[in-house]
Amino acid sequence: MLKSKTFLKKTRAGGVMKIVREHYLRDDIGCGAPGCAACGGAHEGPALEPQPQDPASSVCPQPHYLLPDTNVLLHQIVSAWRPGTWASVASSLRLPGSLETYVEQEQGENANDRNDRAIRVAAKWYNEHLKKMSADNQLQVIFITNDRRNKEKAIEEGIPAFTCEEYVKSLTANPELIDRLACLSEEGNEIESGKIIFSEHLPLSKLQQGIKSGTYLQGTFRASRENYLEATVWIHGDNEENKEIILQGLKHLNRAVHEDIVAVELLPKSQWVAPSSVVLHDEGQNEEDVEKEEETERMTAVSEKMLKPTGRVVGIIKRNWRPYCGMLSKSDIKESRRHLFTPADKRIPRIRIETRQASTLEGRRIIVAIDGWPRNSRYPNGHFVRNLGDVGEKETETEVLLLEHDVPHQPFSQAVLSFLPKMPWSITEKDMKNREDLRHLCICSVDPPGCTDIDDALHCRELENGNLEVGVHIADVSHFIRPGNALDQESARRGTTVYLCEKRIDMVPELLSSNLCSLKCDVDRLAFSCIWEMNHNAEILKTKFTKSVINSKASLTYAEAQLRIDSANMNDDITTSLRGLNKLAKILKKRRIEKGALTLSSPEVRFHMDSETHDPIDLQTKELRETNSMVEEFMLLANISVAKKIHEEFSEHALLRKHPAPPPSNYEILVKAARSRNLEIKTDTAKSLAESLDQAESPTFPYLNTLLRILATRCMMQAVYFCSGMDNDFHHYGLASPIYTHFTSPIRRYADVIVHRLLAVAIGADCTYPELTDKHKLADICKNLNFRHKMAQYAQRASVAFHTQLFFKSKGIVSEEAYILFVRKNAIVVLIPKYGLEGTVFFEEKDKPNPQLIYDDEIPSLKIEDTVFHVFDKVKVKIMLDSSNLQHQKIRMSLVEPQIPGISIPTDTSNMDLNGPKKKKMKLGK
């Protein structure tokens, strides 16, 4: 049946346009219930469960499907999602397009009413349809709506209908489900004191008008970690330099939450403020005294030039709420069902939730979602989503850090897994198309011990003409991950594999990462090979890229490979191959360093895990062997060769990686620190930096060089992915290469997958797809990848920090030697080489008399009483675990040597009251 729709539309220019659109109503959409003879179930796979599990509802005892209306779906789906509870969601959305359930908008009926009626018609149709299907199998569709009128009308029409709350309450099996409902009911808010705290948010249309005319500014709201009454808004748009606006005070923040997109209005200059340097945490349980607490702390006299543009939030353009991890602060009032929830992230306000299980949730990490923030409420309202487990438990904490760093870590969905190759898998004729057979080559892989996702393998052999053939073979992941399917989308979303101390969160399902793509020895694997012909001076004569099939002859660890190279009596193919590679790698490295590549250093540690409990029992700094740098050298070479190739082929949309040179001001700290040791560091070019770092040696202080390199690392910028058509600075500063990309680890980085696809198209081994040559899409991918990489790094660091805590928890209090990395106004930052641990020693505490501190910015040094601290000074610190704040346990360090009366703690006392009353650390003037 054909329906034509005619409507009038106002065009952008202001004219009125008539638009005619036709719409075909179909008669071939199945009901989705399997076994339905009438529909044949032919068109889609069954969407409904064959026999809905019995959720044991007291209002509806027989098995049934649920049909939530759009509002219920929108607001409750996240909160109430549990397998088997909402079975029929997917199919209900499809129905309005079907012939039987099409509903014409009636005269005087608005769009919402029409939708409601359409859903009712659908529910009715479903009930009749299911009745026809089988008489004995009394399946029913229950309509769930929160709209009172809608429900009444539904019952009138003979459709069993309930409100969401009614239905969930009636579920006898899951009483705790009620807590998870988003509280949107109007009654919930009425109890609040009628006093209106916040000014109203303007509607979107007004905001857009205002933004267009320039009265309002659009930006991302960033709450301050240190002060809950302060936030900054990063204004979008690049016409000016990234403009930052300060917001101060609850009222001006006006219910915006971290990461929201907001519209702000600038205040007149007379009301501008300077960023306060005070640490303020929202501790008040009391909701009434909003006004008082605000005005007291601020308004210290500030100089004129410190003032920054100040504004207030007038409206929210887009909320970016997500479920937050944190802990429940149980209400003082007994029997109360309302409690405050304190998120782990200090930038998120506390959230009021309603729960009956407060006592069981106490001391647990839980997840809460925000539902709304009424004008008369001090805190946003939310609902409980999930209980993660006890605080301090390893699983719980891992989950928390994954959630807080937005690392997607759920198991792969069925849809994603469906795109995996079927096992047992073997290489077919079709796979061999456009592929070279390199199984005869003596290829081996060199990786850290215990590595299961081997994505690179190497070979080297002498050619008849005396030159060397060197091959880097990378797992051909793009052969398995086809563009656009669910598997591809999921990997693109994850962006990278995240390695935590005891866990790996894969980017691609395990079947691929540890089996089919992993270049294990003695099996045939698909690879993407980059093969060079080189002379003995490691000069590239010819470069060839090809898809291939390889059969690795050995999977070695770095240590094993080193042993083979070193032992004189081994002369098999693999060993000669390794020796050849090693020789070339040394030349390559030398050449690279001559060009000005930096060798930086960061204290990396590895935990030795107890095999039973997975508790860390010891720490070890990572060792570096010759073979590490051998593999690295060839990976770099492959990446650079590939980058050149894809940029040559796709000048506008090659995915590359750049490392911008840091602004000179970044180096200040390094230069000053070196000067205090009478060393000079030149920073004008990468090469001079590398050279001066090499020369910076002190015979009496061998660790100094490493320290300098660690400091230099801190001065660097972040390397980022970008699309070649969107940028014109390709230089990679750290590697001193004019062009660079990532090609060599497609199992754990999505960027490499894209690069593989680009390269495959460039050599004609694979076909392209529209998104691949769309530079805006590519730029979006880069943005996500950069974000995920950053988050993965943070998560990794957080994981190391947590394990360090566990380690010191078991170890008790220890004293260790440390070096000063930075000197701050009221503290020193030290590095303990033994553990690779960095920490801050504070010299000011709230309940102690402040010592006399003199800070010199120029040297830099800090004089406390009579002792002067310089950067790189050796000190001795005591390390202990501070668990005074359950949510944020941390390592605390205090000074032992040199002894300063009143500051350092004597070496022998260990009975400090660590778990005493909360001590708030004030971090001033940063």
**Residue ranges that bind another protein, judged by CB under 8 A:** 2, 4, 15, 17-26, 44, 94, 97, 483-484, 767-770, 773
Based on CB atoms, which residue is closest to another protein, 9 or 269? Answer: 9
With beta carbons less than 8 A apart as the criterion, state whether 355 and 387 touch: no
Q: In sequence order, which residues have a C-beta less than 8 Å from that of residue 190 and are 6 or more positions away?
A: none
Based on CB atoms, which residue is closest to another protein, 22 or 464? Answer: 22
In the complex, the smallest distance separating the C-beta of residue 414 from another protein, rounded to whole angstroms, is 15
Q: State the CB neighbour count (10 A cutoff) for residue 865.
A: 14
In the complex, the smallest distance separating the C-beta of residue 93 from another protein, rounded to whole angstroms, is 9
In the complex, the smallest distance separating the C-beta of residue 25 from another protein, rounded to whole angstroms, is 6
Based on CB atoms, which residue is closest to another protein, 20 or 568? Answer: 20
In the complex, the smallest distance separating the C-beta of residue 488 from another protein, rounded to whole angstroms, is 11
With beta carbons less than 8 A apart as the criterion, state whether 797 and 498 touch: no
Please state, in angstroms and rounded to a whole number, the distance separating the CA atoms of residues 780 and 5: 36
Please state, in angstroms and rounded to a whole number, the distance separating the CA atoms of residues 576 and 565: 8
In the complex, the smallest distance separating the C-beta of residue 762 from another protein, rounded to whole angstroms, is 13
What is the token pair recorded at 50?
């064959």
Please state, in angstroms and rounded to a whole number, the distance separating the CA atoms of residues 316 and 204: 8
In the complex, the smallest distance separating the C-beta of residue 383 from another protein, rounded to whole angstroms, is 29
Closest-CA residue to 878 (of 827, 810, 794, 808): 808
Based on CB atoms, which residue is closest to another protein, 26 or 714? Answer: 26
Three-point CA angle 447, 451, 452, nearest 5°: 125
Based on CB atoms, which residue is closest to another protein, 675 or 783? Answer: 783
Encoded amino acid at 816, one letter? E
Based on CB atoms, which residue is closest to another protein, 24 or 135? Answer: 24
Based on CB atoms, which residue is closest to another protein, 102 or 703? Answer: 102
With beta carbons less than 8 A apart as the criterion, state whether 435 and 547 touch: yes
**What are the backbone dihedrals phi and psi of residue 522, each rounded to the nearest 5 degrees, phi first?**
65, 20
Q: State the CB neighbour count (10 A cutoff) for residue 659.
A: 21
Closest-CA residue to 458 (of 569, 588, 570): 588
Please state, in angstroms and rounded to a whole number, the distance separating the CA atoms of residues 531 and 182: 58
Please state, in angstroms and rounded to a whole number, the distance separating the CA atoms of residues 854 and 867: 10
Based on CB atoms, which residue is closest to another protein, 237 or 484? Answer: 484
In the complex, the smallest distance separating the C-beta of residue 769 from another protein, rounded to whole angstroms, is 7
Q: What SS3 state is found at 635? A: helix
C-alpha dist (Å) from residue 97 to 30, 71, 73, 92, 691? 11, 19, 19, 10, 70
Based on CB atoms, which residue is closest to another protein, 24 or 857? Answer: 24
Q: In sequence order, which residues have a C-beta less than 8 Å from that of residue 635 and are 6 or more positions away?
A: 456, 472, 744
Instruction: List helix spans (H) across 678-774.
Output: 686-695, 704-715, 750-762
Based on CB atoms, which residue is closest to another protein, 387 or 773? Answer: 773
Based on CB atoms, which residue is closest to another protein, 35 or 484? Answer: 484
With beta carbons less than 8 A apart as the criterion, state whether 602 and 592 touch: no
Residue in the block written with tokens 């392209």: 768
Encoded amino acid at 69, one letter? D
Based on CB atoms, which residue is closest to another protein, 770 or 917? Answer: 770
Based on CB atoms, which residue is closest to another protein, 4 or 270? Answer: 4
In the complex, the smallest distance separating the C-beta of residue 484 from another protein, rounded to whole angstroms, is 6
Based on CB atoms, which residue is closest to another protein, 17 or 463? Answer: 17
In the complex, the smallest distance separating the C-beta of residue 1 from another protein, rounded to whole angstroms, is 10
Please state, in angstroms and rounded to a whole number, the distance separating the CA atoms of residues 348 and 231: 11
In the complex, the smallest distance separating the C-beta of residue 302 from another protein, rounded to whole angstroms, is 44
Closest-CA residue to 892 (of 809, 795, 826, 768): 809
DSSP collapsed to 3 states, 285-318: CCCCCHHHHHHHHCCCCCCHHHCECEEEEEEEEE
**What are the backbone dihedrals phi and psi of residue 305, each rounded to the nearest 5 degrees, phi first?**
-80, -10
In the complex, the smallest distance separating the C-beta of residue 101 from another protein, rounded to whole angstroms, is 13
Q: What is the Cα Rg of the chain in Å? A: 32
Burial 397-433 (b: 16+ CB within 10 A, else e): bbbbbbbbbebebeebeeebeebbeeeeeeeeeebee
Based on CB atoms, which residue is closest to another protein, 18 or 918? Answer: 18
Based on CB atoms, which residue is closest to another protein, 98 or 387? Answer: 98
In the complex, the smallest distance separating the C-beta of residue 546 from another protein, rounded to whole angstroms, is 19
Encoded amino acid at 790, one letter? K
In the complex, the smallest distance separating the C-beta of residue 24 from another protein, rounded to whole angstroms, is 4
Based on CB atoms, which residue is closest to another protein, 517 or 761? Answer: 761
Q: End-to-end distance of the chain based on CA atoms, in angstroms? A: 70
Based on CB atoms, which residue is closest to another protein, 601 or 784? Answer: 784
In the complex, the smallest distance separating the C-beta of residue 20 from another protein, rounded to whole angstroms, is 6
Q: What SS3 state is found at 895? A: strand
C-alpha dist (Å) from residue 892 to 710, 804, 806, 813, 877? 22, 12, 13, 10, 10
In the complex, the smallest distance separating the C-beta of residue 26 from another protein, rounded to whole angstroms, is 6
Please state, in angstroms and rounded to a whole number, the distance separating the CA atoms of residues 187 and 134: 42
In the complex, the smallest distance separating the C-beta of residue 490 from another protein, rounded to whole angstroms, is 15
What is the token pair recorded at 651?
């000048």
Closest-CA residue to 471 (of 440, 449, 450): 440
In the complex, the smallest distance separating the C-beta of residue 44 from another protein, rounded to whole angstroms, is 7
Q: State the CB neighbour count (10 A cutoff) for residue 842.
A: 18
Report CA 701 to chain centroid distance, whole Å.
40
In the complex, the smallest distance separating the C-beta of residue 105 from another protein, rounded to whole angstroms, is 16
With beta carbons less than 8 A apart as the criterion, state whether 812 and 898 touch: no
